[in-house]
């Protein structure tokens, strides 16, 4: 048995979080603007995941949000049993109120964002900014915990300085406050995604708590998956950008799915249909354009494909571009070119 086989069988094992069973150990990481309902439907057509996470939703807006018109707080009934809604907010009361709505709607769980380091979010006292006030961050978790009975997840990163002790202390506080599972992204906040994540810190967080810890950051192929599991002992993996590039990554890692020449063309076209199913054309085109760099990264000449695809203002133009690109049978690469989307 190779290491990859060993870890494939580990990935396939179910895990129970607050008494609720999750089919396997692979999560789609929350990604604003990318992990929307249309993309999640595409992922579900391939299957193979344990849980899907929505992109972050404002806790303040969420109690009044209408899923029919909201661009982000939108889902399919069928995905609710394995869908976790992520929220961001600066205070315990608004986070608790949002979590209650999420529970009422029937989501699997709620995920609290303590990881986003985008200036617009941090300026409002949300996301990774809360790691500067650990007591307040823990109070948010405690208030959400006492307000709902669904699983409560936290997603966080190392903090604002590269001091793993701060991360392990924060992890313990989250656990003590009642978090049921955590996703840890071992990067300091100003880093964004420019430097490699420090996976050894995932091992330290895992060691510090007894709730399940999912590792996140730069999981690009099955060797990365095996290595992270082996080096950190984490309970599962949360996959971000590579899942956008390869929506079948969950099926590939947990069920041995192998894409063929038609998979890429199908995926590009299917995404146009699914976006139009949920959004008006202008918004659908905008979302498609965010997807293009990730999609293009799967090709040897991804930069040029990306440029060709982006030259479109309507879905019809996009579809014409897609068909034109595939007329030339573009060569795919096993490991997508991350320069296109970092």
Residue 126 known to be catalytic? no
User: Please, which residue, 241 or 246, has the CB nearer to ligand FMN?
Assistant: 241
**Cβ 114 to ligand FMN shortest distance, Å:** 8
Work out which of 40, 206, 241, 246 binds ligand FMN, going by CB under 6 A.
Answer: 241
CA nearest 150: which of 214, 54, 82, 68?
A: 82
Distances (CA, A) of 36 to 22, 196, 271: 21, 26, 11
User: Please, which residue, 134 or 266, has the CB nearer to ligand FMN?
Assistant: 134
Token digits of residue 296? 């293009």
Q: Across the chain, which distance is largest between two alpha carbons, in Å?
A: 57
> Per rule CB under 6 A, is residue 217 in the interface with ligand FMN?
yes
> Per rule CB under 6 A, is residue 293 in the interface with ligand FMN?
no
Q: Dihedral angle at the C-alpha atoms of 189, 194, 199, 200, nearest 10 degrees?
A: -70
**Cβ 115 to ligand FMN shortest distance, Å:** 5
Which region among 44-52, 70-78, 108-116, 161-169 touches ligand FMN (by CB under 6 A)? 108-116
- Closest CB to ligand FMN: residue number: 240
Contact mark string toward ligand FMN, 11..30, x via CB under 6 A:
------------------xx
CA nearest 250: which of 17, 21, 39?
A: 39
Kindly write down the DSSP assignment for every residue of 101-157, as one continuous string. HHHHHT-SEEEEEE----HHHHTTT-GGGGGGSHHHHHHHHHHHHHH-SS-EEEEEE
> Per rule CB under 6 A, is residue 239 in the interface with ligand FMN?
yes
For ligand FMN, the binding residues (CB under 6 A) are 29-34, 55-56, 86, 113, 115-116, 155, 185, 216-219, 239-242
Q: Which residues are catalytic?
A: 116
């Amino acid at each position: 048995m190779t290491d990859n086989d060993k870890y494939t069988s580990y990935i396939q094992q179910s895990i129970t979080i607050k008494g609720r069973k999750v089919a396997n150990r692979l999560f789609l990481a929350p990604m604003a603007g990318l992990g929307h309902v249309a993309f999640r439907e595409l992922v579900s057509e391939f299957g193979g995941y344990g849980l899907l996470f929505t992109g972050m939703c404002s806790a303040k807006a969420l109690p009044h949000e209408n899923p029919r018109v909201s661009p982000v707080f939108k889902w399919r009934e069928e995905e609710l049993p394995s869908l976790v809604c992520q929220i961001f907010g600066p205070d315990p009361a608004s986070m608790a109120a949002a979590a209650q709505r999420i529970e009422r709607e029937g989501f699997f769980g709620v995920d609290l964002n303590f990881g986003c380091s985008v200036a617009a979010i941090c300026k409002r006292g949300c996301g990774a900014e809360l790691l500067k006030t650990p007591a307040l961050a823990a109070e948010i978790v405690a208030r959400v915990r006492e307000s709902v009975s669904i699983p409560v997840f936290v997603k966080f990163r190392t903090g604002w300085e590269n001091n793993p002790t701060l991360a392990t202390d924060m992890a313990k506080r989250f656990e003590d406050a009642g978090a049921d599972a955590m996703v840890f992204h071992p990067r300091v906040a100003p880093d964004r995604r420019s430097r490699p994540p420090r996976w050894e810190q995932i091992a330290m967080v895992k060691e510090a708590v007894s709730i399940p810890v999912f590792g996140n950051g730069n999981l690009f192929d099955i060797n990365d998956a095996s290595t992270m599991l082996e080096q950190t002992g984490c309970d599962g993996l949360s996959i971000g950008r590579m899942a956008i590039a390869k929506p079948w990554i969950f099926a590939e890692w947990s069920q041995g799915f192998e894409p063929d020449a038609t998979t890429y063309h199908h995926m590009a076209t299917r995404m146009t249909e699914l976006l139009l199913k949920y959004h008006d054309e202008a918004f659908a085109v905008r979302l498609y354009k965010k997807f293009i760099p990730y999609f293009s990264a799967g090709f040897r000449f991804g930069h040029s494909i990306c440029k060709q695809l982006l030259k479109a203002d309507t879905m019809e133009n996009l579809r014409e571009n897609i068909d034109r690109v595939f007329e030339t049978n573009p060569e795919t690469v096993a490991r997508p070119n991350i320069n296109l989307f970092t």
